[in-house]
Structure 1
Amino acid sequence: MKVKICGITDLDTARIAVKHGADALGFVFTHSKREISPDAAREIIKQLPEEVDKVGVFVNETVERVKEIVEISGINMVQLHGDETPSDCSSFGVPVIKSFSIGSVEDLINVQEYATDFVLFDSPRGQYHGGNGKLFDWRLLENIENIGNKLILAGGLTVENVGEAIRTVQPHMVDVSSGVESDGKKDHEKIKKFIEKAKNAN
């Protein structure tokens, strides 16, 4: 099971996540309490192992600006968390994750239109487009077809529920941000335990 730790803002947390087996780290380049500048992300990314995916999270950003941040920061994957169309997702030159907020089965109707490398299913939007720490009903994903190893599960995952989530949904990857925080900051012990639980879930 692959694990992505999202909302990285400092090198120590990035190194802890990698040390304990994180496969991907997320850097948020949009309005969020976890927002980071491209220059600050670059300083972290250049000190990380090559095999770890560095994912930039964007919301309704222009293609030109996304490409610019890819160049500046060194991210090697783009996660689109807004209202991007299928054509918006085909212009970046790096792998793309398209995020979908799932509150009902109707929210899954348009997923097949997106020929992205991965699709991420998250809880319905709150104050921010992601990272709100809310669960959604995983049973809504039971009948989705032709996703296979493209599915990334997010939304309210914690040390306590990630094992059940993996066994229920069988995703390619799980993605966590607020679920490994204490008082709004990344908690290194929670990161360690979350990765352990996810890796041993099956």
Structure 2
Amino acid sequence: MTMTKPYLKYCGAVTKEDVECIAQSQADAIGFIFAPSKRQVHPDDVNYWLTQTKCDKDIAGVFVNEKVQKVCDITKHIPLNIVQLHGDETEEYAKEIKQQTGAIVWKVFHHEPNLKETLEKMTAFAPFVDGFLIDSKVKGMRGGSGKAFAWEAVPVYVQHAKRLGKICAVAGGITPETVSELLAYGPEAIDLSSGVEENGKKSSAKIKALEERMLNDVRISK
């Protein structure tokens, strides 16, 4: 069986060097965090880095319970292709963002041992978003924990998203060492932040190692 390469997103770029590093990688998307976190960046900086770097990736912005107007402003300013909602946003809010920005909208859910709850949330949000991202649940953290959830659940999420006609990304604890194990569960998209960092900076060596492993496990289908 040949798998196609999952959609690959490197998130949490915080410097021009990070942007250059990701721009030269095989990633499909680069992500910036506009919510309070150790990787929060200012939209003006992001705009500057992107004008200075030839980066032909999809550009994603991560928001947590942000005012609709601010999300719209940043989306236009940069411009973002993907708006990732990482908070307690409602379906109504997601609908508003989708209508006003015209961007691709991903809603993030945290893996719960009771899968049914998350699957029900996915169904509820499906009319208003384009995709889902399942991340590990770590007390007091919205994401970027570097912890993996039980990946046996990945096929359940992926199949459910497919039934809803949406893409489903997986985040949390993915590293060059663990990516082969995750790929066995058939994720459609993967999202990494700390997994490709060395001392808080994106590492081209780690990115290269991850991509080599990934390409060994999948056949690229053009």
1:154 equivalenced with 2:168 (yes/no) = no
- Structure 2 match to 1:133: 146
- Native 8 Å contact 1:86 1:114 kept in 2: yes
CA distance in structure 1 between the partners assigned to 2:216 and 2:131 by the alignment = 23
Once the two structures are TM-superposed, the CA of residue 193 in structure 1 deviates from its matched residue by 1.6
Deviations 1:42-67, CA, capped at 9 Å, x for gaps: 11223455641000000011111100
SS in 2 for 1:157: coil
Deviation by residue 1:157-180 (Cα, 9 ceiling, x = unmatched): 000111110121x12211000111
Cα RMSD for the two superposed structures: 1.8
1:16-50: CA deviation from partner (whole Å, max 9, x where unpaired): 22222111000000111111000001112234556
State percent identity of aligned pairs: 36
Structure 1 residue 60 and structure 2 residue 61: aligned?
Answer: no
Q: Structure 1 unaligned runs (5+)?
A: none
Q: Does 1:80 align with 2:85?
A: yes
- Greater Cα shift, 141-150 or 89-98: 141-150
Q: Distance in 2 between matches of 1:88 and 1:34?
A: 24
Structure 2 partner of 1:4: 9
When residues 18 and 199 of structure 1 are mapped into structure 2, their CA distance, relative to the original with a 3 A threshold, is farther
Q: 2:124 aligns with which of 80, 90, 113?
A: 113
Which residue identity does 2:77 align to in structure 1? I
Alpha-carbon shift at residue 9 of structure 1 (Å): 1.4
Decide whether aligned partners of structure 1 residues 125 and 93 sit closer, same or farther in structure 2, where only a CA change above 3 A counts: farther
Structure label with greater radius of gyration: 2
Aligned ranges for residues 41-56 of structure 1 at < 5 Å? 41-49=46-54, 51-56=56-61
TM-score in terms of structure 2 length: 0.83
| Greater helix content | 2
Counterpart of 1:176 (choices 183, 186, 192) is 192
Q: Given the two structures, how large is their TM-score scaled by the length of structure 1?
A: 0.91
The equivalences for 1:28-39 within 5 A come to: 28-39=33-44
The answer to whether the 8 A contact 1:53-1:77 is kept is yes
Once the two structures are superposed, residues 113-167 of structure 1 have per-residue CA deviations (whole angstroms, 9 ceiling, x without a partner) of 1121111010003443111001100122333444136011111100011111012
Distance (whole Å) between structure 1 residues aligned to residue 122 and residue 153 of structure 2: 13
- Runs (4+) of structure 1 exceeding 6 A deviation are none
| Matches for 1:88-107 after TM superposition, within 5 Å | 88-90=93-95, 91=97, 92-104=101-113, 105=115, 106-107=117-118
Distance in structure 2 (CA, Å) of the matches to 1:8 and 1:143: 30
CA offset digits 1:72-131 (Å, max 9, x no partner) = 222221000011112211223111011110031133331111121111010003443111
Counterpart of 2:62 in structure 1: which amino acid? V
Structure 1 Cα separation of the partners of residues 176 and 16 of structure 2? 22
Q: Which runs of 5+ in 2 are unaligned?
A: none
Question: C-alpha distance in 2, partners of 1:133/1:49?
Answer: 29
Do the aligned partners of 1:126 and 1:132 also contact (CA within 8 Å) in 2? Answer: no
- Secondary structure at the residue paired with 1:100? strand
